[in-house]
A and B are shown apart, each in its own frame.
Chain A
């Protein structure tokens, strides 16, 4: 491990509205927000290395305090174009997770070292990513969904405030696969995020005071809300999980100023409720009306799933928001004959009123729980000699799709991992050519050796990055296969609606994951780094041609974006299922931040479950017996620098 270096890391001025010395004020400003103000004007500090554990630098501040000018409130204007900041989950509306910062390069990445860490005290899976806006870092924890605001302009990054919402614990048991949260969105001076129990909140980014709270989902009906909201203009777009509880999936558009629900667009059901208006809804491949109901047995769509728990993108020129829908319910496909539109699909809507403009279904009549909730990355790529406005999507089903984002036409579709459920994607029809021996159903018994698994060739919770410098996509993948035994399932409101057992095992080659560089213009793998376990973190790409990802056994890695050479690794204390980000600090330096904290399905599979509860002890999954030997639960926010 790199040693903690002793160097002056902070030397700048910060103006504060209060000027009464080094006193630290902690005051209860309301029942949810604790506010901290530390007032210091000029700060000189040195770092001190601590212990062999090499955890972080402890800042010793020698403070020269100068009372002086009183400044106004912190400015909190969105600056998405400023590469020093990270204001939304995917970095930009195109969801590239690409930063123009370039101080960290293949030549110096080996000198990265931790400069700060913070325990969240929460054991759930730390998916999602911090935001950095105007020298404040915002962190949302898994349930209980505490929001922290760290002052990056002061040594030791003390809290400005923390916001502690009242979240119903019922949501913990209704969330299908751990009580995760995928992050917040900064817009118009507000931090907007979802509480797990079906609420969206907006919090003043400066004061931590709650501005509004809106009920968007019903936990007693199987809906939970781990996704990050997506803000476009004056709309906050949100959706709900619950594909394992037989919900009827939707997206809602809230008013950014008040939280009022302006529109609701369902993903399944009649066209009118999908906001698929005559003459305006034009899917590239499907032309019949009411397919969201007609491709189901009578009324089956009412409990048919199609949840929304992933990521969204926005093209301002086309004025279209893109998002993916999840699996059809139940997992036993024989209870829902038909294509089951628009489950496992990409939807293109107008943000203002939710109008559905086009949709494309990746996996018609999904028999394998292949949610399509993974991110839709927008890029302009040269396809067969012509520049195209495309949308690139790495689906759970193992295919990487390059679509024309104006129309929904499939331009390229190639497997990015080992898969065997489909022979190929027919570009004329847009449909997969399915291997019928891999179709599942209660009457088909235990169908063996299906690749990939229902965890996905890539986890939708682990978003890719795209570098416009290399024109490559960087993808965390899983190399696993499964047996799938479907059984009849009864829908009982408030209980799971599943109907399948599906044990996993490593795919050919014996490794369970790989970090892959992908050329979406032609559908080709350029390089890969094999990993022992599935790779379950998001990715950040940088103008320094370094990409960052983490592993389930708790290593954060830097790799050369052009060659795939591992440049640096650091063990962060728990498996990484979150998404690294990079930003420019107040000192002008490039920093890297990431959550440690294994979770999602992996806290269920590793055997290291509920490490705070001695009344719940269980063995690991057969294929992951060793994982808990290398990591355990627990959330930590890490910051690294050169």
Chain B
């Protein structure tokens, strides 16, 4: 089971820390946000006041599907993802996607968003040319990768 840094720190700890830092603010007492457009949740982000905004939590329809892992790996090459992220997604000009760590969040929904919308620093938005099913298969492939054994310590001894 991979862990992101935020997952290791844990959301409750962040909530407590923020609650302590923002005296006078009641954690969890956010107003309803029914007037805001629904957006994707980013559970690794810090929530002001300890109250996470309303948002959609995307569910990977292929979670645990080994055939989707294989299909996602093929798409990773066919869509030229490996040209930036390297063979096996171990990193090249683009960051490693196989180290168990994520710039923009490592939940299935966060990874889906990164591929669908693109990211700054040149990550193209693939949502205009890939159907959602294909993006989910790539997500399934990336979440199946095991981090290399020299994360976090690289030793020359």
Contact = CB atoms under 8 A, between A and B. Distances in A.
B83 A618 contact: no
Interface in B8-63: none
Contact of B90 (A610, A614, A618): A618
B133 interface: no
Interface in B71-93: 77-81, 83-84, 87, 90-93
Nearest to B104: A615
Contact of B102 (A496, A497, A615, A625): A615
Contact of B101 (A495, A496, A617): A617
Among A619, A628, A629, chain B packs the most CB atoms within 10 A around the CB of A619
Given A169-B122, A170-B121, A495-B80, A616 B148 contact: no
Contacts of A217: none
B80 A497 contact: yes
A620 B154 CA distance: 10
B91 A616 contact: yes
Given A616-B96, A616-B103, A629 B122 contact: no
Nearest to B106: A615
A501 to B, nearest CB: 6
Contacts of A501: 87
B152 interface: yes
Interface stretch (A54-62, A172-180, A427-435, A551-559): A172-180
A170 B120 contact: yes
B103 A613 contact: yes
Contact of A629 (B77, B101, B156): B156
A490 B96 contact: no
Given A489-B80, A501-B87, A604-B93, A614 B101 contact: yes
Prevailing SS type, chain B contact patch: loop
A127 interface: no
A381 B90 CA distance: 49
B93 to A, nearest CB: 6
A175 to B, nearest CB: 7
Interface in B119-142: 120-124, 129
B1 interface: no
A620 B150 CA distance: 10
A619 B121 contact: no
B124 A618 contact: no
A249 B109 CA distance: 39
A246 B99 CA distance: 29
B129 to A, nearest CB: 7
B101 A604 contact: no
Contact of B95 (A175, A607, A610, A626): A610
Contacts of B67: none
A619 B123 contact: no
A496 B93 CA distance: 11
Interface residues of A, number: 38
Contacts of B5: 614-615
Contact of B122 (A172, A177, A178, A617): A172
Given A169-B121, A495-B124, A616 B95 contact: yes
A218 to B, nearest CB: 13
A616 B4 CA distance: 12
Given A616-B99, A618-B99, A173 B79 contact: no
A532 B105 CA distance: 39
B156 A495 contact: no
Interface string A168-195: 0111111111100000000000000000
A547 to B, nearest CB: 32
A173 B114 CA distance: 14
Contacts of B93: 173, 175-178, 604
Nearest to B80: A495
Interface in A355-413: none
A607 B154 contact: yes
Contacts of B150: 619
Interface string A208-235: 0000000000010000000000000000
Contacts of A170: 120-122
A264 to B, nearest CB: 25
A419 interface: no
A492 B156 contact: no
A494 B79 CA distance: 11
A219 B122 CA distance: 9
Nearest to B81: A495
B101 to A, nearest CB: 4
A178 B81 CA distance: 17
Interface string A485-515: 0010110101111100100000000000000
Interface in A138-184: 169-178
Contacts of B152: 617
Contacts of A174: 122
Contacts of B78: 490
A231 B77 CA distance: 41
A244 interface: yes
B124 A494 contact: yes
A617 B96 contact: yes
A576 interface: no
Given A170-B120, A501-B87, A610-B95, A615 B103 contact: yes
A496 B96 contact: no
Contacts of B123: 173
A609 interface: yes
Nearest to B77: A487
Among A170, A171, A496, A604, chain B packs the most CB atoms within 10 A around the CB of A496
A495 B83 contact: yes
B80 A618 contact: no
Contact of A173 (B87, B99, B121): B121
A496 B121 contact: no
A173 B77 CA distance: 17
Interface string A591-628: 00000000000001001011001111111100001101
B154 A615 contact: no
Contacts of B96: 616-618
A418 B156 CA distance: 30
Contact of B83 (A171, A498, A614, A620): A498
Given A496-B80, A628-B154, A619 B90 contact: yes
A618 B91 contact: yes
Contacts of A498: 80, 83
Contacts of A172: 121-122
B78 to A, nearest CB: 7
Nearest to A629: B156
11 contacts: A169-B122, A172-B122, A176-B93, A492-B129, A495-B80, A495-B84, A604-B91, A614-B101, A615-B5, A615-B99, A617-B96
Closest 9 A/B residue pairs (Cβ): A173-B122, A496-B83, A616-B95, A495-B80, A618-B91, A615-B101, A618-B96, A615-B103, A617-B99
Given A169-B121, A607-B154, 16 more contacts: A172-B122, A173-B84, A177-B93, A490-B80, A495-B81, A497-B80, A498-B83, A604-B92, A604-B93, A609-B91, A614-B5, A617-B96, A617-B152, A619-B148, A620-B154, A629-B156
Interface of A: 169-178, 219, 244, 487, 489-490, 492, 494-498, 501, 604, 607, 609-610, 613-620, 625-626, 628-629
